[in-house]
Amino acid sequence: AKQNGKGGYAFFKPELDAAARRRVSLEEALRIAILRDELSIAIQSQYSPLSQIKGGEVLVRWLNGPDGVPVSPAEFIPVAETSGLIKPLTLLVLSKALAVVTELMDAGILLPLSVNFSTDLFRDVTLIDGVLALVAESGVPPELLVLEITESLFIDTQADVLANMERLSTAGLKFSLDDFGTGYSNLAYLKRMHLSELKIDKSFVDHLPHDDDNRAIVRSILSIARQLRLRVVAEGVETAAQADFLSAHGCDLLQGYLLHKPAPAAEWVSSVKLLKSE
């Protein structure tokens, strides 16, 4: 321990220090990666219970991170969210997603894509303007764009957040509530928030159909969704037994490694074109 300016002692914590330094270096590298357009997207298909492709989720990828090693979005998205980089990052991901939808449209294929949107973005009017401008420029029907948001948005029911969501929803964009069941679930909000879809979190899909609690939770989510006329997507489907249980109980769409692993956008586009030309 060494003495600090206030006459007390500041303890040197090497682990904390390393974590803080990693964050700073990630932030610097991410800023440059965004400027140089070094982020890419992967897409994971979503299927009906009859195994028809119905759309895909867009997932950002940073393959060439510091030291030339890929960095997981689970690590760099929180850094982006606390550094202001989430806004340019999201607009970049969105424009890549729109390019994919456009390429499929040119081949006569209409498939919606879901894009993850961090909660804080809905406080920023200029971001909303940017989203609407990109969609308008692309010529993509707004209905083919689904924004995945999380329940943390509902804690903050500031008027401007609601107004910003409403602008996007009025323009035709769809909203999906991601990781449903893990956050602050006030069911009254489900109706107010212009949602068209719920995504059941992977933690509830895990251990289906054997786990009694998860079975009950998934069935009640499906029943609430049916009453509110919301579509339901299950994420993290890894086994046929999970897929069978979810399908039997009326889940609309399935997403997970059992059906498809996220693939680079170009590869995904080719495989969808091939599928649709059969």
User: By the criterion CB under 5 A, which residues form the site for Ca ion?
Assistant: 116, 148, 178-179, 201-202, 235
Q: Output 77 or 161, the one with its CB closest to ligand C2E.
A: 77
Q: Residue 38's closest CA among 49, 26, 29, 51?
A: 29
Interface pattern 2-31 for ligand C2E (x via CB under 6 A) = ------------------------------
Burial 248-276 (b: 16+ CB within 10 A, else e): ebebbbbbbebbbebbebeebbeebeeee
SS3 6: coil
Q: Output 77 or 222, the one with its CB closest to ligand C2E.
A: 77
Interface pattern 235-264 for ligand C2E (x via CB under 6 A) = xxxx-----------------xx----x--
Rounded Cα distance, 198 and 229, in Å: 10
Only one of the segments 69-77, 102-110, 226-234, 263-271 lies at the binding site for ligand C2E (rule: CB under 6 A); that segment is 69-77
Find out whether 177 and 150 touch, Cβ atoms under 8 Å.
yes
Phi-psi bin for 61: left (phi > 0), alpha (psi -120 to 50), beta? beta
Cis peptide before 70 (omega within 30 of 0): no
Only one of the segments 7-15, 73-81, 180-188, 190-198 lies at the binding site for ligand C2E (rule: CB under 6 A); that segment is 73-81
Torsion angle of C-alpha atoms 29, 30, 35, 41, degrees rounded to 10: 130
Q: Output 29 or 79, the one with its CB closest to Ca ion.
A: 79
- Contacting residue, 53, 85, 93, 272, with ligand C2E by CB under 6 A: 93
- Give which of Ca ion, ligand C2E, none residue 59 binds (C-beta under 5 to 8 Å, depending on kind): ligand C2E
Least distance (Å) from ligand C2E to the CB of residue 1?
A: 38
Q: Output 123 or 159, the one with its CB closest to ligand C2E.
A: 123
Least distance (Å) from Ca ion to the CB of residue 43?
A: 12
Our finding on whether 82 is near ligand C2E (CB under 6 A) is no
Spell out the SS3 assignment of 26-59.
HHHHHHHHHHCCCCEEEEEEEECCCCCEEEEEEE
Q: Total binding residues for ligand C2E by CB under 6 A?
A: 20
Q: Output 9 or 184, the one with its CB closest to ligand C2E.
A: 184
Find out whether 234 and 200 touch, Cβ atoms under 8 Å.
yes
- Give which of Ca ion, ligand C2E, none residue 77 binds (C-beta under 5 to 8 Å, depending on kind): ligand C2E
Find out whether 272 and 243 touch, Cβ atoms under 8 Å.
no
Range list of β-strands (E), 51-116: 53-61, 113-116
Site of interaction with ligand C2E (CB under 6 A)? 44, 59-60, 72-74, 77, 90, 93, 116, 118, 178-179, 235-238, 256-257, 262
